[in-house]
Structure 1
Amino acid sequence: MSQFVNIKKITLEDCKSMDLADPLSSFKSKFHLPEGIVYLDGNSMGAAPKQAFPDIKNVVEEEWANGLIRSWVGADWMSSPVRSGNLLADMLGAKHGEIIVTDTICINLFKLICFALKFNERRKVIVYEACSFPADGYIAQGVSNLLDGYSCRSIPEGEEDYDAYLQDDVAVMVLNQVNYKSAYMRDMKAFTQKARERGVLIIWDLAHSAGAMPVDLNADGVDLAVGCTYKYLNGGPGSPGFVYVNKALHGKSVQPITGWFGHANQFAFEEKYTPSKTLSQFQTGTFSALSYQGLETSLNLWREVDFNLVREKSLKLTDLFIDLMMPVAKKYGLTLITPEDHSVRGSHVSYYREDNGYAIVQALIARGVIGDFRAPGVLRFGFTPLYLSYEDVWQSVEHFKAVLENKEYLQEEHKAFQAVT
């Protein structure tokens, strides 16, 4: 539960004092944050590390411009997927060689579902969460439609008994460690163990947990996972996704997109495809060295970070926001859908409002407080401990009050839905 509620009214001076005592406060200066912006959308796309600008410039102006094709070896572009994967492994409690950075989270999920079905070939059902980000369900449905004899089963939104879906015909389940709308955090270790006892493989989607909290894949016994790197990991817009496969499963199955980067001997140019015996088999085609550089810069910054401090600050930031918002939410019909219980809360806070949710978010953005909206009525705000301050939280709630009290959200320019919400 919150450490602030029912103590006293929190003031701006209190928040400034908390910032002075914050052990992570020095990291904010390592990111580019536009003047006058409170950025509460790092759970959707992270802010840019300042060091990424010269590093990417070097890739463009030196390695590409002058090194030309030689930079695949001379600048070691070829090792980027493995190198970044090993940096992630150190962050996420995996062994080197268990994570590779490649393609997108959707493509990687397709690969892992097929990998799991081949491994559990006597079972023909894929299970996914209806409350998940829709892409997970779309990919699961696509795989089942592609393969004869296979089907999908969804866990309805609001269902609490996930154990009931560990049935004998289920080969694989796709689950989120942290739900993208509510920020509900599932016990990854406990459910993985239950699933293993029933012969079901779990693919964990780490999109809203990697970079936001301690993740220990090996200690939790996780077999398979996917994630993206452009949210809390600050890899840049569209930076590549990652695949985790526990070493116990290496060589036990294959993934279906047999691109030349996954070949055991890529430059032998053999007619027959032979998959690499390492996690490199999950690579497909030629990748963008530009995208990998921004990510690698960020991952090297993360090596300085204590994830226990990240988690501690995440909970303090979200507690502060929830507590300051309590009278605002009550007065203006906003329902908190994020758990107050620390043990099951991720690093974003969401409210539901029946009407004008999108317009409220747009009015906040017009004031420089950037969050996002998820249909049908979810107002979502992400709390990124490396570059968000307690004063930022206080200021964001003051703007929230003004938007609602002044009915700024009723202005016509805030009502028209844009291509990205």
Structure 2
Amino acid sequence: MTTPARTSLSEPITAGVVTALVGFTSSFVVVVAGLRAVGADAGQAASGLLALTVTFGVGIIVLCLRYRIPITLAWSTPGAAMLVAAGADHHGGWPAAVGAFLVVGVLILATGLIPALGDLIGRIPTPIAQAMLAGVLLVLCLAPMESLAVQPLLTIPILLVWLVSARWLTRWALPLALVTALVVIGIYVGVHEVSVPATSSWWPQMTWTTPEFDASSIIGLAIPLYVVTMASQNVPGVAVLKSFGYETPWRPAMFVTGTGTVIGAPFGGHAINLAALSAALAAGEEAGADPARRWIAGVSAGISYLVLAALSGVLVTITDLAPHGLLEAVAGLALLATFANALLGAFGRPEVRVAAALTFVTAAAGVTFWGIGGAFWAIVVGLIAHMVLGGGPGSPSRASAEAE
């Protein structure tokens, strides 16, 4: 009996390492782009990437050891994409953005402590939430084709590697596209003799920013970021674990992710949450035949994330050296599947389709009033249209429906 147990231990450990590699490499460019869009310089963006990776890496280890469930956490990738879309309309500066991140952490904590707050988010109809997300993601999802038009020789190798890999090595398509991008950037830097910007550092660093609380930033950044994180990460994260037979400890998970977001915010971390897509890698059969031992994959993923955190300075410096728009193209590829799923969720129900369309175009257009960006107004417009056109204020069963 001892030999099989030892043999099976390698499976969850390997699955955890793969979870971290895929989760980190497939979306860190979105996070960096989002932080830079709302005012972070290279050092502050590197600090944010480091803070996020460390806080959710530690959070994974704590939850997995405590509950013996393969609970994995992640940064809010859709939230980072929302920051990219909001960047042009955000005039409060980096300290105000950090203040908004801190508010998001408090709201996530409150969600675990106050059931009514979770119910309020649950009353936002799925098509409205998904349409807002799709509109926010549109900006980045256009980046691959925009880059192709401007710099085809640099972009074509990335697109080809991604496309071929998506056909035969689906899980590794984005990491391989990223590796290709790094090779292209290396050649570009060598040919053009690009120098490292003064604000960049190859080493991981934590940079403190004292938060400033600005009303327009709280309404325009914090509230949409909170809604996107809850609707597009935490609720699907619960559903993924449930599909493998695990019940998520909701309150402890919200406490850990909310606390992690609050701790990471002054160092530039925008939000951490339950993992959705990468959660399946640690909770599925690839993490071992025995479901009771798959929590080891979660611990392995958490440790692997802590190792990857050391690369934060290097990776942000590389993004500074890259030709404009090239890594954004990789970010767009990383978000295509999420964008497609959001469109399906937004326009799948005919009775809500017009309200969802209004939500989508409002978010995509980046409509701004009183310094408050398009993501917030998209929700407002969508909910008003939904009530006027029929369907009431929203179904309280949205979250439970998604979890099933």
TM-score by length of 2: 0.24
Q: Which has the higher contact order (CA 8 A, sep 6+)?
A: 2
The higher radius of gyration belongs to 1
**Per residue, is there more helix in 1 or in 2?**
2
